[in-house]
């Protein structure tokens, strides 16, 4: 079975069209489907529309969140409630063309765990949004150890084990694009042209996008903390050199303004020490932050035990079975 997870926030104008287009695509595919709509606290008639779809179509599931939690949390709720062997995450505003689902599934059948849709063009978006998005992806790639693919939204397919892996990442500040990349496993891009929104309005204004970008950078990199260390070291070094120069200058050329050299040296010295101190605190804070996220240390792609161990395992299979990690 394949699950479709679609977050909905005030999408009354597009839900029906989305559903029709989606059905046209999945009816052609030889698989069972479930369509999970996550109502992220909509305040228009979306909940009523979703309930009607649910009554008409046994494949439809509706999760209604108690208020608007934001798309990232809505997606997580949908993934948590999915049952499929593969899960496809898709926007309801038809910016993610359902037609691409066929290709996503084909790549999944080729053995990829994460098949993400990559935008080649983005129609109907301002040049400012395109440019900021472009630079945001480049910046975060430089700052983070995790390779977050550029020009990728949340539109993608995840295998069951990828969904399970994501389920183990319970951090509160969820930058999904980063989390999708963090889990690793064989990943594959499928390219498409992003269409303009069919109807309704984007829920993202620039302020929200800015905060989203900060979220991404702070969730996936402690580089900003480290900046303090290096900046502090650089300033402290310059301050010490300048302090040394003032002492030298006073000794050689005398002291025209009494008190100035000692004052300057003390101020520079303390300033430098303080910046280094802040940098050191930043280093510890970065480690603390990593620990607080409680991400799993690693995920295993496959495990081939040595021949000896597997022979032993066969004879004691009843024991190992009860200890083997649950596979969902």
Q: Min. distance of Cβ 3 from ligand UDP in angstroms?
A: 16
Q: Residue 294 has what DSSP assignment?
A: T
Q: Which two tokens stand for residue 135?
A: 């630079």
The neighbouring-strand residues paired with 158 are 87, 114
Mask of contacts with Mg ion, 93-122, x by CB under 5 A? Answer: x-x---------------------------
By C-beta, is 209 or 273 nearer to ligand UDP? Answer: 209
By C-beta, is 9 or 220 nearer to ligand UDP? Answer: 9
Q: Which stretch binds Mg ion (CB under 5 A): 91-99, 114-122, 159-167, 210-218?
A: 91-99
Q: Min. distance of Cβ 15 from Mg ion in angstroms?
A: 14
Q: Min. distance of Cβ 4 from ligand UDP in angstroms?
A: 12
Contact 81, 36 (CB under 8 A): yes
Residue 11 within binding range of Mg ion, rule CB under 5 A: no
DSSP reduced 3-state for 25: helix
Q: Which two tokens stand for residue 52?
A: 């009607």
The C-alpha angle with vertex 192 and arms to 301 and 185, in degrees rounded to 5, equals 5
Q: Min. distance of Cβ 63 from Mg ion in angstroms?
A: 20
Residues that bind ligand UDP (CB under 6 A): 7-9, 11, 40, 68, 70-71, 74, 91-93, 95, 202-204
Contact 165, 185 (CB under 8 A): yes
The neighbouring-strand residues paired with 6 are 37
72 binds, among ligand UDP, Mg ion, none (CB under 5 to 8 A by kind): none
By C-beta, is 26 or 89 nearer to ligand UDP? Answer: 89
Q: Min. distance of Cβ 125 from ligand UDP in angstroms?
A: 8
Q: List the one residue out of 204, 205, 229, 213 whose CA is nearest residue 139.
A: 213
Q: Which two tokens stand for residue 101?
A: 């689902």
Burial 241-262 (b: 16+ CB within 10 A, else e): eebeebeeebeeeeeeeeeebe
71 binds, among ligand UDP, Mg ion, none (CB under 5 to 8 A by kind): ligand UDP
Q: What is the binding site for Mg ion (CB under 5 A)?
A: 93, 95
């Amino acid at each position: 079975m394949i699950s479709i997870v679609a977050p909905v926030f005030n999408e009354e104008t597009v839900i029906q069209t989305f559903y029709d287009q989606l059905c046209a695509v999945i009816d052609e595919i030889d698989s069972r489907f479930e369509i999970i709509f996550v109502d992220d606290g909509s305040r228009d008639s979306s909940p009523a529309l979703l309930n009607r779809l649910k009554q008409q179509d046994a494949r439809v599931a509706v999760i209604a969140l108690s208020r608007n939690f934001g798309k990232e949390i809505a997606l997580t709720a949908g993934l948590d409630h999915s049952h499929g062997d593969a899960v496809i995450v898709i926007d309801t505003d038809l910016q993610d063309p359902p037609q691409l689902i066929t290709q996503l599934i084909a790549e999944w059948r080729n053995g990829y765990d994460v098949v993400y849709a990559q935008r080649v063009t983005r129609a109907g978006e301002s040049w400012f949004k395109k440019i900021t998005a472009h630079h945001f992806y480049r910046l975060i790639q430089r700052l983070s150890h995790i390779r977050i693919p550029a020009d990728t939204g949340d539109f993608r397919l995840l295998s069951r084990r990828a969904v399970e892996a994501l389920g183990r990442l319970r951090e509160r500040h969820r930058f999904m694009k980063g989390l999708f990349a963090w889990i690793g496993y064989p990943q594959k891009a499928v390219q498409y042209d992003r269409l303009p929104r069919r109807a309704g309005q984007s829920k993202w204004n620039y302020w929200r996008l800015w905060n989203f970008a900060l979220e991404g950078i702070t969730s996936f990199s402690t580089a900003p903390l480290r900046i303090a260390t290096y900046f502090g070291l650089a300033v402290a070094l310059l301050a010490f050199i300048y302090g040394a120069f003032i002492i030298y200058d006073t000794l050689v050329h005398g002291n025209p303004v009494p008190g100035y050299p000692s004052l300057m040296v003390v101020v520079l010295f303390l300033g430098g020490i303080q910046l280094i101190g802040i940098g050191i605190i930043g280093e510890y804070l970065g480690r603390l932050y990593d620990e607080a996220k409680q991400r799993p240390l690693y995920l295993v792609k496959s495990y081939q035990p040595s021949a000896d161990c597997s022979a032993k395992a066969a004879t004691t299979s009843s024991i190992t079975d009860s200890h083997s990690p649950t596979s969902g």
